Structure 1
Amino acid sequence: MVWWKVALISIPILGIIVWLGLPKLLHAMGLHPSYDMPSYNLKGKRALVITTSHDTLGETGKATGVFGSEMTVPYYAFLDAGLDVDIASIKGGEIPVEPFSMGWPLATPEDKRFKQDATAMSKLKHSIPINEISPDEYDVYYMAGGWGAAYDLAQSRALAELITKANANNKVLGSVCHGALGLVSAKNVDGRPLLEGRNVTGVTNRQIKQLGIEVTPKHPETEMRKAGAKFELQTATIEMLATHVAVDGNIVTGQNQNSGYETSHRILALLADKKQL
């Protein structure tokens, strides 16, 4: 058989193997690890998923936004537990999504479900502006990450005021990865930084450096430490394959994109405990 005939046969086969195999390989390496989510029935409770509105990575011109699974995994964890779930962003309107984060080879089952869900996609395109949200309207205020969050979560006065008041009302506050920046400008009931003395986590400086995204103006580990937080983390040779969740009172934080499942679980567990009181 001549070489070009071999190529005609082998190249498509190789492409299929890569297409099917790469997501499984990444999962086996530790990306989006499997997680056994307990079942909850929290009908009547409400959760708000908060995201960035920023769509450009600095002056590079590259597109950015929310990282898909950091929004979709908690969204469906809350929804499947019976909660009513809304999506808000700093400016409202259509939310930018980090390119490729909801596509091959990174997509989680929740990413795929979200893209086929007309109601969810409508919420993504018509998100609620954060300045229209009441601090007593929801039981959970959860902030998703993605590199866009480095440009507007910590910088938003409206978000800081919302989280400050929600905390005073003993609401459950959560975040994953860069979403933790939504906590750093909020205050405790005594006027001190909300995170002062609290055990929390977020994406590490080491992961940011490994991914080459130091261009962003705010880094969660740096900003949380500045706010007086007791910053927790797990590490790995490839930092994005690590995962850690910190729970301190009404605050639940996840280290990175791998932490969405457990973060959602711990948030739901807090809600279930409060429901029983």
Structure 2
Amino acid sequence: MVMTSHHDMQNTEDKTGVWIGEFTDPYYEFIDAGYRVDLVSPKGGRPPVDPMSELTENITGSNRRFQDDDDAKNAFSHTSTLNGIRASDYDAVFYPGGHGPLWDLAVDNNSGILIHDFLDAGKPVAAVCHGPAALLSAENIRPGFLKGKRISAFSNTEETIVGRGDHVPYLLQTKMEELGVEIKNSLVPFLSHVEIDGLLITGQNPLSAGPVAKALIERLADKQEQQPEQSPETESFTKA
């Protein structure tokens, strides 16, 4: 799992970072399915956590489980640096959100190379909420990579509702659409929505984090997983 190291927002003293539920929900889906999970960030160490994600109304069961899990808390506090990670050592990669990826993972060359290495090897790449901003670094490496891709990501409407549209460098939905991406989201803001386009598995918002992880686990368990050169299948589903 690759998480942001960025915490500052624009035109405000508010902080951002990892949306904690977008880490804990998938993390325990993977752990409970028997996977080993390594935690990574551009700078290593403990990633910043978005304070809003720790408010009572945003706490999930996995958040509470994490607080009682000393091993997981230790791993989160000691993430490895992104530049030391090789796709050949893993089955898949998952990018949680929080607004931080808009700044660092979107332009991190190591992250962009890693994404291409996974996809080129026929291994899935998953991201949720603002995590799909990491795909922008892959676009920088191979211009045109994102054109025609079908993904889900935090919507402009949701950005307006949470009141952070003026504190980010760009609106992720708009940026993606400018690059030729087809954004597929729930018509109702903040409902869970997952989009599968070949080896790319993406989700719209915090409620989508667990479902994206489940979709990734299903893909890993599928013995007939498609190869990159085959025509990509597409799926989408929304949950209330």
Q: TM-score range by the shorter chain?
A: 0.7 to 0.9
CA distance in 2, matches of 1:50, 1:243: 21
Q: Deviations over 1:57-89 (max 9, x none)?
A: 224222211001111111110111011001111
Match of 1:203 in 2: 154
Please, which moves more after superposition, 226-235 or 172-181? Answer: 226-235
Q: 1:251 aligns with which of 194, 200, 204?
A: 200
User: Following superposition of structure 1 onto structure 2, how do residues 148-167 of structure 1 map, counting pairs within 5 Å?
Assistant: 148-167=100-119
Q: Which amino acid aligns with 1:252?
A: I
| TM-score normalised by structure 2 residue count | 0.87
Following TM superposition, by how much is the alpha carbon of 1:171 offset from its aligned partner in structure 2, in angstroms?
1.2
User: Following superposition of structure 1 onto structure 2, how do residues 106-255 of structure 1 map, counting pairs within 5 Å?
Assistant: 106-187=58-139, 191-214=142-165, 215-236=167-188, 239=189, 241-255=190-204
1:270 has 2:219 as partner:
yes
Q: 2:3 aligns with which of 51, 54, 72?
A: 51
Following TM superposition, by how much is the alpha carbon of 1:56 offset from its aligned partner in structure 2, in angstroms?
1.7
> Are the counterparts in 1 of residues 152 and 202 from structure 2 also a CA contact under 8 Å?
yes
Following TM superposition, by how much is the alpha carbon of 1:103 offset from its aligned partner in structure 2, in angstroms?
4.3
CA distance in 1, matches of 2:218, 2:64: 26
> Are the counterparts in 2 of residues 184 and 193 from structure 1 also a CA contact under 8 Å?
no
Q: How many aligned positions are there?
A: 225
> Are the counterparts in 2 of residues 185 and 193 from structure 1 also a CA contact under 8 Å?
no
Given the superposition, is the C-alpha separation of residues 188 and 66 from structure 1 closer, same or farther in structure 2, using an over 3 Å criterion? closer
- The secondary structure found in structure 2 opposite 1:136 is helix
Q: Which amino acid aligns with 1:197?
A: G
RMSD across aligned positions (CA)? 2.0
Q: Which amino acid aligns with 1:118?
A: D
Following TM superposition, by how much is the alpha carbon of 1:242 offset from its aligned partner in structure 2, in angstroms?
2.1
Match of 1:39 in 2: none
CA distance in 1, matches of 2:18, 2:225: 34
CA distance in 2, matches of 1:96, 1:212: 20
Q: Deviations over 1:147-205 (max 9, x none)?
A: 1222111111111111111111111100000000011221599x453322121110001
> Are the counterparts in 1 of residues 107 and 136 from structure 2 also a CA contact under 8 Å?
no
Following TM superposition, by how much is the alpha carbon of 1:217 offset from its aligned partner in structure 2, in angstroms?
1.0
Q: Deviations over 1:116-145 (max 9, x none)?
A: 111111111111111111121111111000
CA distance in 1, matches of 2:191, 2:116: 30
> Are the counterparts in 2 of residues 254 and 263 from structure 1 also a CA contact under 8 Å?
yes
CA distance in 2, matches of 1:92, 1:58: 23
| TM-score normalised by structure 1 residue count | 0.76
> Are the counterparts in 1 of residues 185 and 193 from structure 2 also a CA contact under 8 Å?
yes
CA distance in 2, matches of 1:146, 1:135: 23
Match of 1:75 in 2: 27
- The secondary structure found in structure 2 opposite 1:185 is helix
Which segments of 5 or more consecutive residues in structure 1 lack a partner in the other structure? Answer: 1-48
- The secondary structure found in structure 1 opposite 2:175 is helix
Identity score, percent: 33
CA distance in 1, matches of 2:196, 2:36: 23
